[in-house]
Amino acid sequence: TQLLEQSPQFLSIQEGENLTVYCNSSSVFSSLQWYRQEPGEGPVLLVTVVTGGEVKKLKRLTFQFGDARKDSSLHITAAQPGDTGLYLCAGARGSNSGYALNFGKGTSLLVTP
């Protein structure tokens, strides 16, 4: 089972539309990170959210961390073709073998002109 569930899996929209993608878990996280991955490249960090209920804005991107720190959302306003990519959420999870940053499977976003 996936620790972090992301939805939707795929999203195809036209330039100028708004969208929201979700990252959900049954586990509580001390922090969540959002990354964007473009084809042929590695993921690049967008933001880290730490406090329950926190909202962070990065230009047209708005990130929210749930009050219970189990879920997060990413809202994009007036999407542009340059927003196309795979959006991944990640949270640190401890185990007997140490802490590791676990990723969701991602939301693949395509924005067409």
Partner 1 sequence: DSGVTQTPKHLITATGQRVTLRCSPRSGDLSVYWYQQSLDQGLQFLIQYYNGEERAKGNILERFSAQQFPDLHSELNLSSLELGDSALYFCASSVDRGGIYNSPLHFGNGTRLTVT
Q: Is 10 in the site for partner 1 (CB under 8 A)?
A: no
Q: Is 24 in the site for partner 1 (CB under 8 A)?
A: no
User: Nearest to residue 9, comparing CAs of 85, 107, 79?
Assistant: 107
16 vs 53, beta carbon nearer partner 1:
53
- Based on DSSP, count helices (H) and strands (E) in the chain, helices before strands: 0, 11
Q: Is 82 in the site for partner 1 (CB under 8 A)?
A: no
Q: Is 41 in the site for partner 1 (CB under 8 A)?
A: yes
Angle at 105 between CA 40 and CA 34, to 5 degrees: 80
* Helical H segments across the chain, by residue range: none
Q: Is 68 in the site for partner 1 (CB under 8 A)?
A: no
The site for partner 1 (CB under 8 A) is made up of 2, 30-31, 33, 40-45, 48, 50, 88, 90, 92, 94-95, 97-106
